[in-house]
Structure 1
Amino acid sequence: MSTTTDSPPARPRRDRRPVGPLVFLLVLALAALGVWWKVLSDEGARAEADEAACATAAEAPPSLDPGTVSVRVFNATDRAGLANEVAAQLQQRGFVVDEIANDSSDREVTGTGEVRHGPRGSEAARFLALFLPGAGSFQDTRADARVDLVVGPDFTELTPPDQVASTLSPIASAEAACSEPV
């Protein structure tokens, strides 16, 4: 007889956790989390940019047909005939000029001029202000939509039509983007 100890064969341990697959799953979960974080932050940035564009479009002057804007042109300078010259240029651009005269108000006009309007003429005044850069704005209590363009001492010329169009084209595209359903 032999004196050997017969021990049963060693069995693999079942309580050992597979570290490699767990690390792989953890890295995969972190990568997925990073992708979703990027997607959601980009979406938020796009939404903020859209809101800013819509706010800019809302504050921007409207694009109106000049034939719908009724204007009175007043001269607040010492230069004779300036109101007639400006009125003729506005008529060539399609505006309806109701009256041409010297400014008889007691308001002091400085700079290139002033656009006067009532509450109903706010949009028309913002549109007309595109044609006279640097003009101030004054809202009075008139009930109609008529707008006064008062030419000031620093006036040199109206804004060229192509510059007005280039100012209005990005505004129109921003308004179109804002009105599209999401």
Structure 2
Amino acid sequence: MSMLTPPGMGGKYRITGSTYPRMRRPRHRRRIVLAAVAAVVALGLAGWGTLQLIDVFSGGSTKSTATGGRDTPRCTPSPTTTPARALPRPGQITVNVYNATPREGLAKTTADELRKRGFVIGKVGNAPETYDKKVPGAGILLGATTASDSALTVLGTQLKGATSKADTRTTKDVDLIIGTAFKALDVQKDADQALATLSTPVKPSC
């Protein structure tokens, strides 16, 4: 009997030789592990392929590092910019200043300020009866229909809140009728900035 044979066991249970029996793992476990790994890889590839198809049919997107890698829509800017409107300069605009409030001297002081800003001053005085003490806002800008998108636009940069209206005149001069809510013209720096913005070409935005 070998020394490897437990006491009381013999016959067909007797262990002979000088080595221990080797225990092998069942091979079916290895197959299960390999199958699971293959399934995970297949699912990953399928998901990636699906995302690529979605990206193609939705027009595509680019990842922006500025947004932390989130998808942002692609933008194809226009090859040209929108040209700025050809607006007249203040020196090409004649402004009549009328006071529709009970405060005296308001038309003259406002006209003097507009003259300093380069506008040509026409008539200065009290508003006609149609508007006298009937303008509750900051003011009304009046001019011919052709002045709505030119002279009145430039004059409007000097007084926020003024209402622009067209009348039947055929001359190029425009009117500033000062209303009850008027306090002063806008600060010249702000007015100049507003006028510069109107004269700047519009760039395509993404």
TM-score bracket for the superposition, by shorter chain length: 0.5 to 0.7
Number of residue pairs aligned between Structure 1 and Structure 2: 148
Query: What is the SS of the residue equivalent to 1:85?
Result: helix
Q: How much has 1:149 moved relative to structure 2?
A: 0.3
1:102 — aligned with what? 126
Unmatched segments (≥5 aa) in structure 2: 1-40, 63-71
Say which structure, 1 or 2, has more relative contact order (CA 8 Å, 6+ apart).
Answer: 1
In terms of fraction of residues, the more helix-rich structure is 1
Q: How much has 1:168 moved relative to structure 2?
A: 3.3
Larger radius of gyration: 2
TM-score normalised by L of structure 1: 0.66
Is the contact between residue 98 and residue 127 of structure 2 (CA under 8 Å) also seen in structure 1? yes
TM-score normalised by L of structure 2: 0.59
Stretches (4+) displaced over 4 A = 23-30
**Which digits, 9 at most, give the CA deviation of each residue in 1:112-151, with x for residues without a partner?**
1111111122111121112112111221111122100001
1:82 — aligned with what? 106
Unmatched segments (≥5 aa) in structure 1: 1-19
Is the contact between residue 157 and residue 195 of structure 2 (CA under 8 Å) also seen in structure 1? no
Is the contact between residue 74 and residue 102 of structure 1 (CA under 8 Å) also seen in structure 2? yes
RMSD: 3.4
**Which digits, 9 at most, give the CA deviation of each residue in 1:8-63, with x for residues without a partner?**
xxxxxxxxxxxx9xx9699569538627611694226x56xx9xx96xx77xxx75
Question: Sequence identity, in percent?
Answer: 28
Is the contact between residue 87 and residue 154 of structure 2 (CA under 8 Å) also seen in structure 1? yes
Counterpart Cα distance in 1 of 2:197 and 2:130:
38
* 1:165 is aligned to 2:192: yes
Is the contact between residue 70 and residue 145 of structure 1 (CA under 8 Å) also seen in structure 2? yes
